Amino acid sequence: MVKISKHSFGKTFNGIEVYNYSIKGDIEVIVSSYGATIVSLYAPNNKGEMKDVVLGYDNLNDYENNYKYLGATIGRCCNRINQGKFKLNDVIYKLAVNDGDNHLHGGIKGFNSKVWNAEEIQDGVKFSYFSKDGEEGYPGNIKVSVSYIVKDKALQIIYEGESDSDTLCNLTNHSYFNFGSDILENKLKINADCFTENNEYSIPTGEVLPVENSPMDFRSFKRIGEDIDSEYYQIKYARGFDNNWVVRDYDGTVRDVAEVIDAISGIKLIVCSDYPGVQFYSGNYLDGSSFGKNQVPIKNRSAFCLECQYFPDAINHNNFVQPILKKGEKYCKNIIYKFENI
């Protein structure tokens, strides 16, 4: 039996009321109408205790300054777009740039900084947002929704959208996971034989490289910290792991993408998705300058992300699966976080 409750999270700087929703079953997720954000995610450890396994903040004002995107819904297009430019239907579009000369995670005021409408649904909550034509430079009016549904020991996230003209759409969740111990001791497996090569600015070159015989090989369980300080050029560029892995045998259906095991808590996370890629980020740019729940500093490499997605800058690389949403077509993508105990 899933129970849903609603609580005020305060008002934004502009005076807009924000609400948090608890969705409680075998696991519990707390989600916010600000940024359609995952604030907390409670899963059982090997002692049967419920542990919050994601980073977040105690108050709304910190989320309004959430430049690390903790738990947020990212859109209209997640990850980076080179120079904030792309060509669609022979028209060149210039997006807002907020990462040097590049466009990152939807721009200066992406979906993560919007107050979404909310409604309770069966076993969950559905958030909706209307993004106007030209917002952050994107073409088309687009209606999007994010549904959070708890079933057994899993959280399912359903992304839906429809636009009145051709546009880009690449929505993901940016939760940072920590199971209560040093993430460098966690063991990770990614179901991918290849990854997309980046330049020094974290922009894909267009090359897809094999993980074999490289520190990027997570085809079997490996400690996150084992190769994180490698001299390998991709790791040096990012100060750790921050690349897109190519999901093995991608066919558009939901499949296991990655698994993480924390031996101390006994928590195992299985990430499932119908996206073609997953960004593994080892928290390299967390720097302790901000404070999370209970005023704990958010330190370097204190959490990791597994962001299911279309590839970064895909629109500018014809050999990548394209994140184009055609006029009138339905966008529907899924991410599932399943929890087990070892």
Give me the architecture of the 3-175+324-336 domain, per CATH: Distorted Sandwich (2.70)
Told to judge if 174 belongs to the known catalytic residues of this protein, a careful annotator would answer: yes
CA 278 to chain centre: 9
Task: State the average pLDDT for the chain.
Answer: 97
Query: Given a cut of 90, is residue 66 above it in pLDDT?
Result: no
Report how far residue 178's alpha carbon sits from residue 303's, in angstroms, rounded to the nearest whole number: 5
Told to judge if 103 belongs to the known catalytic residues of this protein, a careful annotator would answer: no
Domain ranges of the chain: 3-175+324-336, 185-316
Helices (H), 169-299: 233-238
Report how far residue 288's alpha carbon sits from residue 286's, in angstroms, rounded to the nearest whole number: 6
Q: Which of 135, 174, 197, 317 is catalytic?
A: 174
Q: How confident is the model at residue 67 (pLDDT cuts 50, 70, 90)?
A: confident
Total length of the chain: 342
Query: Given a cut of 90, is residue 214 above it in pLDDT?
Result: yes
Query: Given a cut of 90, is residue 212 above it in pLDDT?
Result: yes
User: Hey, how many other C-beta atoms are within 10 angstroms of the C-beta on 327?
Assistant: 11
Is 71 within 8 Å of 193 (Cβ atoms)? Answer: no
Q: How confident is the model at residue 109 (pLDDT cuts 50, 70, 90)?
A: very high
What's the pLDDT tens digit per position in 186-210?
A: 999 999 999 999 999 999 999 999 9
**CB neighbour list of residue 140: distance below 8 Å, 6 or more residues apart:** 133, 163, 164, 165, 166, 167, 327
Q: What's the mean pLDDT in 289-301?
A: 94
The hierarchical CATH code for the domain 185-316 is 2.70.98.10
What's the pLDDT tens digit per position in 232-256?
A: 999 999 999 999 999 999 999 999 9
What's the pLDDT tens digit per position in 225-238?
A: 999 999 999 999 99
Q: Which of 136, 259, 307, 317 is catalytic?
A: 307
pTM listed for this prediction: 0.97
Report how far residue 284's alpha carbon sits from residue 63's, in angstroms, rounded to the nearest whole number: 20
Tell me, what amino acid is at 280? F
What's the pLDDT tens digit per position in 139-178?
A: 999 999 999 999 999 999 999 999 999 999 999 999 999 9
